[in-house]
């Protein structure tokens, strides 16, 4: 299967229209059974070109080693970046989509400079002041969204690996909270932990 390589066509069109702080936005952990959902926002410099981040693409198409390498480069190149989270308890309380919205608001509150436009992967952030565009498969189309997908994934993965010592036996460092066979076996053996999403179907 051929994957589309993200480029800067959307960002360039917006830069030409006078926007200067375009934040690409993407999330990680939507379908996990445990841990928070993470949302990253990345503002690339206006002078960024095709050679700026040549190895960055949808994080799901990259190996863990590739993501780690390019995450460092993204953080060095970006004008600004931030990652926000919503906890498993918040996901249970509000539902996954409102929790993603809250994580995004937290990322944007921490982002400097503040964006003047949002490029989002499919998602829309209602009732907020920023102009925004939601792109289907945005992480395969816009480089700033792909960069955000890498940071959301790497930061969440690091957080989940850290939970391994607090909640031993579940294998969070390996599956990062997703519903693998080993994770479900651990759930049957140990029951849910404090960071499991009780509103999700944990077994089955």
Domains of the chain as residue ranges with CATH: 9-190 (3.30.420.10)
Average pLDDT of the residues in 69-98: 97
β-partners of residue 82 are 41
Report DSSP state, residue 94.
H
Whether 59 shows a pLDDT value over 90: the answer reads yes
CA distance 25 to 176: 21
Q: Are the C-beta atoms of residues 111 and 80 closer than 8 Å to each other?
A: yes
Half-sphere exposure of 200 (CA within 13 A, CB side): 24
Cβ neighbours of 76 (radius 10 Å): 7
So what's the pLDDT on residue 84? 98
Contact between 107 and 80 (Cβ < 8 Å): no
pLDDT tens-digit readout, 159-179: 999 999 999 999 999 999 999
**Total residues belonging to the chain:** 204
Average pLDDT, the chain: 94
For residue range 12-57, list pLDDT tens digits in order. 999 999 999 999 999 999 999 999 999 999 999 998 987 899 999 9
pLDDT computed for residue 1 by the predictor: 43
Q: Do 93 and 36 contact (CB within 8 A), yes or no?
A: no
| SS3 (DSSP) at 89 | helix
Please give the pLDDT value at position 124: 80
CA quadruple 72, 104, 133, 27: dihedral positive or negative?
Answer: positive
- Give pLDDT, residue 3: 64
**Can you tell me the mean pLDDT for 59-66?**
94
Res. 2: pLDDT tops 60: no
């Amino acid at each position: 299967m051929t994957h589309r390589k993200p480029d800067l066509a959307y960002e360039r069109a917006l830069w030409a229209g006078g926007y200067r702080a375009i934040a690409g936005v993407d999330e990680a952990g939507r379908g996990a059974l445990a841990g928070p959902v993470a949302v990253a926002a990345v503002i690339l410099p206006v002078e960024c070109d095709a050679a700026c981040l040549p190895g960055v693409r949808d994080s799901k198409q990259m190996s863990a080693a590739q993501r780690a390498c390019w995450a460092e480069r993204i953080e060095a190149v970006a004008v600004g970046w931030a990652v926000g989270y919503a906890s498993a308890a918040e996901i249970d309380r509000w539902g996954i989509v409102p929790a993603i919205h809250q994580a995004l608001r937290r990322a944007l509150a921490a982002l400097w400079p503040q964006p003047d436009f949002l490029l989002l992967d499919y998602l829309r952030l209602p009732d907020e002041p920023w102009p925004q565009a939601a792109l289907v498969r945005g992480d395969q189309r816009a480089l700033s969204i792909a960069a955000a997908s890498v940071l959301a994934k790497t930061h969440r993965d690091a957080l989940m690996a850290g939970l391994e010592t607090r909640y031993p036996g579940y294998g969070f460092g390996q599956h990062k909270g997703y519903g693998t066979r080993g994770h479900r076996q651990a759930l049957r053996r140990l029951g849910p932990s404090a960071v499991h999403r009780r509103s999700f179907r944990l077994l089955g």
